[in-house]
């Protein structure tokens, strides 16, 4: 199968969208009908859309308004909402869509769709195929069914799981209280040892009629989504077979499974299976107080804890209106860019690992990472789980001499190391042979699949949130958005090198200009109660668009805490990218997406 | 020409190899230049940011010199001067702890009135996420982060549920581990105390004029012997810590398993086992 066929397969989804558009001509008048109200005007305004007009409105936004990027789809269960804003609204659930325009840049259009319990909603996958995994997640965690979704399934939990855990009335086993701090452990609490509670304790529920003895895991490997029976004619009589790559496989970057249907060595269809590391991060996040979530964000993408901290801090600051002092702004940028260098060198090393160049390039690539982690440790106390940012700044000032060391890195060591990596790998004939033309997907397809970050820039889309919707103080620095036109593995490798160079440029400027002063302002301590409302803040994390969607009902705990994780959503493109290539290529294609399972599974 | 890229890449690896090889042949390879030598060929390595060549540290024979802010599991401070726990059992740390792994029981005097002192203080180190929030929000500087990271044990329970005894360290230990922060805190404390004293003196003068009699001081629940025993224990610990510091390791690093307090460790383990058995028994009784 050729590349164009692969693209055609990926475009199969959007054909549905065209159909919908034809049925409901996207005239502006009809679109206005769709908007039936506003929501959260004080914090981040959202439009309330009539459920039956959703697809028409999405089509209108995509085709007439240029909102080509469906960033986030999520849901809120308002059944326990303590705020005042929602008086008079009966529907229990609200689906929340965030759409952006990669051409115009700027802020999002936020859509809310109110859904009563047990109702279905039209799937957005026809218009934005990238809604695929996110709608699966909403179905899995909230139990909302999407009509017209090609493959609605439980993605994060196992098939027999009882209930939908993100619903407010779902309590996990050994549930202690809805919110922290727990009463039972303080001060005279009956502290219970976890060992006493396991395995079967109170509040564990099973599906009706479930019998642990007779239960067998359902056989899930039969259909690999819409696998074509026979993708190409050939001279041999062969049958296609289903092969599992993973979950425990050295090439899957963690506990992750690629369900493939192959014929010979060629992949006919591929589906990502995840959730092995799922810990319901968002449910934990809703029980925590606002501040408590900070160290938990470290554990999402554990290679880039500094950027995760930053994204979450920015979201809460946006919601609560907290100012950040000048010096802290600079420190944040420095940390975020150091993290990007760490991530990109790491991912370059591991793309090479997946290509079969075991360890040498990887270890060369992460040499400087060691120095950067030492710097992190010196200021924050930990190399990986930094927990360094706070609402209103960063927790501690830099140590003495830190800036000089960072300057040495930014001005001498990192540029040299990146050049060396370039010399070591970029002209390598094997890297080129394995990377050129492999895993191709066009820019249009990538965007429609909601892919973000280096992946789209390697396909020629100059879209970077630091420029398109600047946050922190990125508008003060002089840097470029490198793009490459090819959209293949090699470009995805090389774009990361180029981006790391740009990060070094930002680092040099930030370390030159950093002022003295306060590093933590505002009242963002553990008693924080943001005003009622919601906010979505995204940052250009090294792996793509990392977004935090937070809803407050003016209580000490977030009412809703959602992570739009780039690793998870970029996996939308894994299947379409792999079709037609060899099994060995699939390994590299996955590597070049650059996922971290802590963030995929959450 | 095909192959030039490969050769170029191999040149990079060759260069690395040659440099490291030459450096390694020297009597003192550059990566050991600033390291602290311990007995049996062990080392604490302070890797400068300019370090080239081999960066690998051969743990556990070689360890990194930890920066002051390194955080692992919290420890409670025993104020050796005043001879008391700094902790007042206010419970703030337990409230802010994200995984809720701190459990405090407030002490009470003989009349059952609660006093500002913990009777029990537990941290479940298996749950602790080393976030350091407890330290950040403790208003009395009573809880700090320990650098001791070699805590592997055979069983999670009870070995990893640290009680007050295990968590408590003397102030000197903290001062050695966190010198800069300790100095800053002492400075602040001294200032605050001076102000306090000035105020108190003014007050005392006023009070003297009134000539009041019969004051009731809180009697500590512990007997003098108990306090003496705790002091001794703390002193022993601080001596051990100092010894380690003097034994070559830098003051800001403490590797408890390095030197020979094996006996003490064993005793501690035995004690824990005994406690575990007791607890299990109690639980059984209360259930059955
Ligand atoms: S350690 Fe500090 S915060 Fe915790 S109970 Fe003691 S005094 Fe309060
Ligand atoms: S370090 Fe964090 S997790 Fe550990 S006890 Fe302190 S507050 Fe709790």
DSSP string, A509-547: HHHHHPPPS-SB-SS-STT--PPSEEEEEEEEETTEEEE
Q: Is the ipTM of this complex over 0.85?
A: no
Each residue's pLDDT tens digit, B34-48: 788 888 878 888 888
A357–chain B Cβ distance below 8 A for any pair: no
Please tell me the predicted confidence (pLDDT) of residue B172: 83
Q: Which CATH code of 1.10.645.10, 3.40.1410.10, 1.20.120.1200, 3.30.70.260 fits the domain covering A281-601?
A: 1.10.645.10
DSSP string, B184-216: HHHHHHHHHHHHHHHHHHHHHHHHHHH------
Contact A238, A179 (CB under 8 A): no
pLDDT over threshold 80, residue A314: yes
User: pLDDT averaged over chain A?
Assistant: 81
Mean pLDDT, to the nearest integer, of B19-34?
A: 84
Please tell me the predicted confidence (pLDDT) of residue B224: 55
Q: Please state, in angstroms and as integers, the Cα–Cα distance from residue A481 to each residue in A75, A105, A474, A567, following that order.
A: 33, 14, 13, 21
> Least CA distance to B95: which residue of chain A?
A181
Lowest mean pLDDT segment, chosen from A501-505, A589-593, B219-223: B219-223
Ligand 2 atom 7, closest CA: B97
Q: Indicate the pLDDT class of residue B216, thresholds 50, 70 and 90.
A: very low
The rounded Cα B216 to chain-centroid distance in angstroms is 36
Separation between Cα atoms, residue A573 and residue A445, nearest integer Å:
8
Answer whether B98 sits within 8 Å of A188, measured CB to CB: no
Mean pLDDT, to the nearest integer, of B82-104?
A: 85
Q: Where in chain A is the domain with CATH 1.10.645.10?
A: 281-601
A444–chain B Cβ distance below 8 A for any pair: no
Please tell me the predicted confidence (pLDDT) of residue A401: 87
Q: Indicate the pLDDT class of residue A18, thresholds 50, 70 and 90.
A: very low
> Least CA distance to A189: which residue of chain B?
B103
Instruction: Kindly list the protein residues whose Cβ atom lies closer than 6 A to any atom of ligand 2.
Output: B 74, 97-99, 101-102, 123, 128-134
Lowest mean pLDDT segment, chosen from A6-15, A50-59, A441-450, B138-147: A6-15
Residue with tokens 């690093």: B253
Please tell me the predicted confidence (pLDDT) of residue B234: 59
Contact B99, B107 (CB under 8 A): no
Contact A546, A311 (CB under 8 A): yes
Lowest mean pLDDT segment, chosen from A268-272, A379-383, B153-157: B153-157
pLDDT over threshold 60, residue B256: no
pLDDT over threshold 70, residue B135: yes
How does DSSP classify residue A248? B
B55–chain A Cβ distance below 8 A for any pair: yes
Please tell me the predicted confidence (pLDDT) of residue B245: 46
Q: Is the dihedral of CA A542, B72, A413, A335 positive or negative?
A: positive
Answer with the residue of higher pLDDT: A457 or A236: A457
Q: Indicate the pLDDT class of residue B285, thresholds 50, 70 and 90.
A: low
Separation between Cα atoms, residue A308 and residue A566, nearest integer Å:
11
Q: Indicate the pLDDT class of residue B260, thresholds 50, 70 and 90.
A: very low
Nearest to B212 by CA among B221, B222, B203, B220: B203
Give the list of residues 6+ apart from residue A513 with CB closer than 8 angstroms, or none.
A330, A476
pLDDT over threshold 90, residue A11: no
Q: Indicate the pLDDT class of residue A338, thresholds 50, 70 and 90.
A: very high
Each residue's pLDDT tens digit, A195-232: 455 445 555 666 667 676 776 665 544 455 445 555 45
Q: What letters, b where the CB count within 10 A reaches 16 and e where it falls short, cover A388-421?
A: bbbbbbbbbbbeeeeeebbebbbeebbbebbebb
Q: CATH fold of B74-170, please?
A: Alpha-Beta Plaits (3.30.70)
Q: What is the domain partition of chain B in residue ranges? A: 2-64, 74-170, 178-213
A86-100, A173-187, A295-309, B164-178, range with greatest mean pLDDT: A295-309
Q: Which contiguous run of DSSP H or E holds residue A71?
A: strand A69-77
Each residue's pLDDT tens digit, A82-102: 877 777 788 888 899 999 988
A119-128, B205-214, B256-265, B273-282, range with greatest mean pLDDT: A119-128
pLDDT over threshold 90, residue B181: no
pLDDT over threshold 70, residue A555: yes
Of B16, B55, B132, the CB nearest to A387: B132
Answer with the residue of higher pLDDT: B284 or A278: A278
Ligand 1 atom 7, closest CA: B87
Mutation pick for ligand 2 pocket among B69, B94, B97, B162 (CB with most ligand atoms within 8 Å) = B97
Contact A140, A74 (CB under 8 A): no
Cβ count near A466 (within 10 Å): 20
Separation between Cα atoms, residue A506 and residue A480, nearest integer Å:
10
Please tell me the predicted confidence (pLDDT) of residue A222: 46
pLDDT over threshold 90, residue A147: no
Q: CATH fold of A3-147, please?
A: Beta Polymerase; domain 2 (3.30.460)
Each residue's pLDDT tens digit, A368-380: 888 899 999 999 9
pLDDT over threshold 50, residue B249: no
Separation between Cα atoms, residue A590 and residue A266, nearest integer Å:
16
Please tell me the predicted confidence (pLDDT) of residue A307: 92
Candidates B1, B7, B12, partner chain A, best to mutate (most A CBs within 10 A):
B12
Contact B159, B66 (CB under 8 A): no
Please tell me the predicted confidence (pLDDT) of residue B236: 63
């Amino acid at each position: 199968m050729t590349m164009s066929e692969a693209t055609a397969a990926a475009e199969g989804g959007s054909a549905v969208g065209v159909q919908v558009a034809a049925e409901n001509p996207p005239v502006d008048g009809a679109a206005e009908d769709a908007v039936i109200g506003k929501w959260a005007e004080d914090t981040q305004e959202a439009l309330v859309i009539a459920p039956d007009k959703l697809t028409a409105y999405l089509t209108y936004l995509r085709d007439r308004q240029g909102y080509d990027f469906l960033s986030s789809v999520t849901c809120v269960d308002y059944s326990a909402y303590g705020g005042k804003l929602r008086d008079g609204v009966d529907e229990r659930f609200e689906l929340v869509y965030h759409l952006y325009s990669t051409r115009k840049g700027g802020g999002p259009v936020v859509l809310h769709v109110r859904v009563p319990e047990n109702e279905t909603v039209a799937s957005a996958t026809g218009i934005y195929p990238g809604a695929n995994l996110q709608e699966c997640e909403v179905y899995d965690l909230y139990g909302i069914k999407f009509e017209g979704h090609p493959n609605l399934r439980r993605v994060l939990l196992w098939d027999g799981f009882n209930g939908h855990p993100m619903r407010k009335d779902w309590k996990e086993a050994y549930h202690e209280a809805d919110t922290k701090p727990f009463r039972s452990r303080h001060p005279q609490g009956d502290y219970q040892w976890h060992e006493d509670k396991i395995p079967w304790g109170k509040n564990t529920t099973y599906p009706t009629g479930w019998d642990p003895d007779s239960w067998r895991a359902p056989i899930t490997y039969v259909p690999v989504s819409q696998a074509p029976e026979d993708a190409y004619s050939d001279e041999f009589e062969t049958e296609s077979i289903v092969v599992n790559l993973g979950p425990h496989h050295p090439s899957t970057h963690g506990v992750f499974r690629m369900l493939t249907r192959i014929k010979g060595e060629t992949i006919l269809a591929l589906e990502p299976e995840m959730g092995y590391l799922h810990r319901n991060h968002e449910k934990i996040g809703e029980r925590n107080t606002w501040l408590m979530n900070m160290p938990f964000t470290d554990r999402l993408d554990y290679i880039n804890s500094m950027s995760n901290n930053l994204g979450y801090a920015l979201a809460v600051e946006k919601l609560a209106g907290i100012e950040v002092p000048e010096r802290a702004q600079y420190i944040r940028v420095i940390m975020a860019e150091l993290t990007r260098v760490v991530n990109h060198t790491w991912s370059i090393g591991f793309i090479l690992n997946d290509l079969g160049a075991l360890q040498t390039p990887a270890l060369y690539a992460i040499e400087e990472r060691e120095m950067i982690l030492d710097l992190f440790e010196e200021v924050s106390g930990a190399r990986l789980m930094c927990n360094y940012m706070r609402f209103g700044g960063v927790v501690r000032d830099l140590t003495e001499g830190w800036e000089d060391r960072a300057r040495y890195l930014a001005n001498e060591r990192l540029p040299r190391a990146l050049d060396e990596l370039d010399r070591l790998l970029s002209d390598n004939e094997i890297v080129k042979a394995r990377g050129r033309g492999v895993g191709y997907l066009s820019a249009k397809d990538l965007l429609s699949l909601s892919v973000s970050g280096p992946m789209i820039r390697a396909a020629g889309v100059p879209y970077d949130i630091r420029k398109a919707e600047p946050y922190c103080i990125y508008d003060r620095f002089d840097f470029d958005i490198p793009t490459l036109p090819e959209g293949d593995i090699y470009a995805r490798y090389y774009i990361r090198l180029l981006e790391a160079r740009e990060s070094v440029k930002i680092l040099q400027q930030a370390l030159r200009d950093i002022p003295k002063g306060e590093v933590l302002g505002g009242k963002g301590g553990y008693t924080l109660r943001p005003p009622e409302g919601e906010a979505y803040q995204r940052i250009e994390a090294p792996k793509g668009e990392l977004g935090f969607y937070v809803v407050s009902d003016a209580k000490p705990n977030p009412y809703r805490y959602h992570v739009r994780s780039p690793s998870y959503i970029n996996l939308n493109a894994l299947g379409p990218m792999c079709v037609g290539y060899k099994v060995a290529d699939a390994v590299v294609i996955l590597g070049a997406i650059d996922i971290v399972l802590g963030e995929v599974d959450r | 020409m095909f192959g030039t890229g490969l050769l170029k890449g191999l040149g990079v690896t060759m260069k690395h190899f040659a440099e490291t090889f030459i450096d390694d042949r020297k009597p003192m390879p550059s990566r050991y230049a600033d390291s602290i030598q311990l007995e049996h060929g062990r080392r604490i390595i302070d890797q400068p940011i300019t370090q080239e060549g081999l960066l690998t540290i051969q743990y556990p024979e070689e360890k990194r010199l930890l920066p002051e802010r390194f955080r692992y599991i919290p420890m409670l401070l025993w104020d050796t001067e005043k001879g008391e726990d700094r902790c007042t059992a206010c419970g703030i740390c337990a409230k802010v702890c994200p995984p809720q792994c701190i459990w405090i029981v407030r002490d009470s005097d003989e009349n059952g009135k609660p006093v500002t002192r913990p009777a029990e203080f537990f941290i479940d180190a298996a749950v602790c996420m080393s976030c350091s929030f407890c330290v950040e929000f403790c208003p009395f500087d009573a809880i700090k982060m320990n650098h001791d990271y070699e805590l592997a044990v055979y069983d999670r329970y009870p070995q990893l549920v640290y009680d007050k005894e295990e968590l408590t360290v003397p102030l000197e230990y903290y001062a050695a581990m966190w010198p800069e922060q300790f100095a800053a805190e002492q400075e602040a404390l001294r200032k605050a105390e001076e102000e306090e004293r000035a105020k108190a003196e003014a007050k005392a003068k006023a009070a003297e004029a009134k000539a009041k009699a019969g004051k009731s001081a809180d009697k500590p629940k512990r007997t003098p012997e108990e306090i003496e025993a705790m002091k001794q224990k703390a002193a022993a610990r601080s001596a051990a810590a100092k010894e380690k510091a003097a034994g070559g390791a830098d003051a800001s690093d403490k590797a408890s398993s390095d030197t020979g307090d094996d006996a003490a460790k064993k005793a501690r383990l035995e004690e824990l086992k005994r406690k575990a058995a007791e607890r299990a028994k109690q639980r059984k009784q209360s259930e059955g």
